[in-house]
Amino acid sequence: MLDRPPHTPNPTGLVPVVGAALPIGDALIGEPVEKAIEVLPLVFNLCQSAQSMAVHMAFGRPFDLRLLSDLRIEILRDHLMRLYITWPSFFGGTARALPQGWAEGGNDLAHAVFGADTPPETSHDFAAFLRGDTPAASALRHIRSAFAPHEAATNILPPVTDDTAFRKDACENSVAARHREHPVMQAIEDTLGRGPLWRATARLYDIAACIGGSLPPAVRPSQGRAIVTAARGAYAVSAATSGGNVTAFRRITPTDHLLAPHGILAQSLSSLRPENHGLAPLMLDILDPCSPVELREVANA
């Protein structure tokens, strides 16, 4: 477990330093639609299935239905990697092999992750789950212990909608957003806030959604626009064409909303206690910006 040093006055704060985004929209202007559909998932090779589905839908092109299965596996893999490999390393734990046959889903995967057929349904069930010996229980138990109530937490931000998904304003574009009404998620929010445990626990319910085939469906809210569920939230793509060539293209990702001014990352950093700045790398991994982000200490005014 990560030890908290004793509290001492600290006149410094953490600020994120983010590299410049690729000007992919400008690069696609004038290109044939088919080339844009082919290139985009290769340029952004993480969440390839989500990227591919979004760009197909935005351009109004049919896609191979195998993409739906690939998307489910893509999301499932990302969650399991966090619970079994990445997060244990922050607490001196050993990486665990992903459950055998994990990509198939089913009861075997459910029992490996939840210790039961389904994830915990009530706060009482969740407390019992955290006392269990599954890798997921261990990871979440350590995260709960590492942060104080309401530490590294955010206020209630606007949810992702057909409108906010296409703006780079601060909004709750996250895995937690799509499970915020679950009783366990509400109980965590009430007692600890929308902090690391709230965000990490949401992956349990997304795994259950992957197993049960109940992930939110991709939507095309209007011509030239698509919103697709992904491992970190939802991707939004808007596009226009003329004569078979791209005339406009814009891609908004969970990272854009996470890094927005006064957004999830900014609020999480501002509520991280100075004596716990050593927890910032874990906090950042839970937020999962899917983009290189460096945290630097600066003197507060």
SS (H, E, C) 232-283: CEEEEEEEEEECCEEEEEEEECHHHHHCCCCCHHHHHHHCCCHHHHHHHHHH
Q: Is residue 60 part of a domain?
A: yes
Length of the chain: 301
Backbone phi, psi, residue 137, to 5°: -60, -45
Query: Which strand ranges, in their side-by-side order, compose the sheet holding 245-252?
Result: 225-230, 233-242, 245-252
| Number of domains comprising the chain | 1
Q: Is residue 88 part of a domain?
A: yes
Q: Is residue 246 part of a domain?
A: yes
Q: Is residue 177 part of a domain?
A: yes
Per the structure, the complete domain to which residue 107 belongs is given by: 12-94+102-299
pLDDT value, residue 297: 81
Residues of the chain scoring pLDDT < 50: 1-11, 301
Q: Is residue 287 part of a domain?
A: yes
pLDDT 10s digits, 10-47: 445 788 887 666 677 888 899 999 999 998 888 877 78
**Beta strands at 245-252 and 233-242: parallel, antiparallel or unpaired:** antiparallel
Instruction: Put residue 150 in one of left, alpha, beta given phi > 0 → left and psi -120 to 50 → alpha.
Output: left
pLDDT value, residue 300: 60
Q: Is residue 44 part of a domain?
A: yes
pLDDT value, residue 10: 40
Q: Is residue 2 part of a domain?
A: no
pLDDT value, residue 301: 45
